[in-house]
A = this chain, B = another copy of it.
Amino acid sequence: MTPERHAKDQPTPALFFDTANAYQRTEALKSAIELNLFTAIGEGKTTTKEIAQACQASERGTRILCDYLVIIGFLTKDKRSYGLTADSATFLDRRSPAYLGGTIEFLLTPRLIDNFKQLTAAVKKGGTVSSEEGMIEAENPAWVSFARAMAPMMAMPSQLIAKLVDPNANESLKILDIAAGHGLYGLAFAKRNPRAEVTAVDWANVLEVAKENAQAAGVSDRYQTIAGSAFDVEYGSGYDIVLLTNFLHHFDVKTCETLLRKVRASLADGGRAVTMEFVPNDDRVSPPQAAAFSMMMLGTTPSGDAYTFAELESMFSNAGFARSEMHELPPTIQRVIITYK
């Protein structure tokens, strides 16, 4: 809904109005997922009447929701016929292997989004005000929900990372997966490389999900777990790869450096830390999705952030690592940093 400019670029309240009402975009997307609307259209229901019938909804409500989804970019419209965009067909039709609709169970859980009802107070304080620790409280059940709901979003990036870091997939590899969650990042290595062994660290309640996924992948015999906080437990040593996926952003620089020293000590000579993160450019406002992730951290954590490559490089360097290199991970909105011990 890019605001339209008029003659002479006169100021317009369009962006203000759009943004004040932006919460309706979230709710419209959520409703469409709840109603299986994208799947209905993918199955060939294209008129308001057909879609309404398939979604057991009113024609009036369906017409208004579909038009709104066209306006915000999720559907196409040709005369009276609606269609899926390429992105919607890939990510929002339940029949697609890359279906992401279930991630709203985490992304839109009240435990997460209610943090933003007090955003003004969070800006004043400089961190979440909902509780002392926000989303990073020990054993927060939201992370079990995360591990279950967000796994589909991680399938593609986990495969891309395994391919990037272990291209030949034929050498013996000892892998430590920090805050493994669903476990998919470690499991992607184990599935590609029969000589890869994975040790996953996370809270006990979350590890249950990782273990289920290891079993489903048929690699339980090469999958160990260590229950507890990544800051407290003993990792063991001699790892070739330590995975740090979507973890550092929850903490301040000092806390990250403390963790990274521990990570480095667990690596074998020639070992590598592999970090996946939302990494904004040095301007901190691009690329937009990665840069905007700072707002998620302001709202939900005491002092987390989306760190630039320079900041991450400095953390690793301060923790004793040799050098870091950044890789893009298209088509994801994240980046990978490979750091050598």
Choose among A64, A74, A124, A286 the residue with the greatest number of B CB atoms under 10 Å from its CB: A64
Which secondary structure dominates where chain A touches chain B? helix
- What residues of B have a CB within 8 angstroms of the CB of A43 in the complex? none
A116: nearest chain-B partner, CB-CB: B27
Q: Does A330 reach chain B (CB closer than 8 Å)?
A: yes
User: In whole angstroms, what is the CA distance A20 to B289 when docked?
Assistant: 12
Q: Is the CB of A333 within 8 A of B17?
A: yes
The copy count of this chain in the complex is 2
Q: Which residues of B contact A67 (CB under 8 A)?
A: 284-285, 291, 294
Contacts of A74 in B (CB 8 A): 15, 19
Q: Given contacts A21-B292, A67-B291, A119-B27, is CB(A13)–CB(B153) below 8 Å?
A: yes
User: Complex formed: what's the CA distance from A71 to B306 in Å?
Assistant: 14
Contact-residue size bin, chain A (C-beta under 8 Å from the other chain): 35 or more
Q: Are B123 and A65 touching (Cβ within 8 A)?
A: yes
Residues of B within 8 A of A29 (CB): 16, 19-20, 22
B71 and A285 contacting across the interface, CB-CB below 8 Å: yes
Closest chain-B Cβ to A174's Cβ sits at a distance in Å of 32
| Known contacts A25-B22, A124-B61, A303-B60; is-contact A15 B87 (Cβ 8 Å) | yes
Nearest neighbor of A299 in chain B, beta-carbon distance: B24
A-B contact pairs, 27 of them (CB 8 A): A11-B86, A11-B89, A12-B87, A12-B333, A14-B333, A16-B29, A16-B91, A16-B100, A17-B333, A18-B289, A20-B104, A22-B22, A22-B25, A23-B113, A24-B119, A27-B299, A28-B295, A56-B124, A58-B124, A61-B122, A61-B124, A61-B298, A64-B123, A68-B292, A71-B288, A71-B291, A77-B283
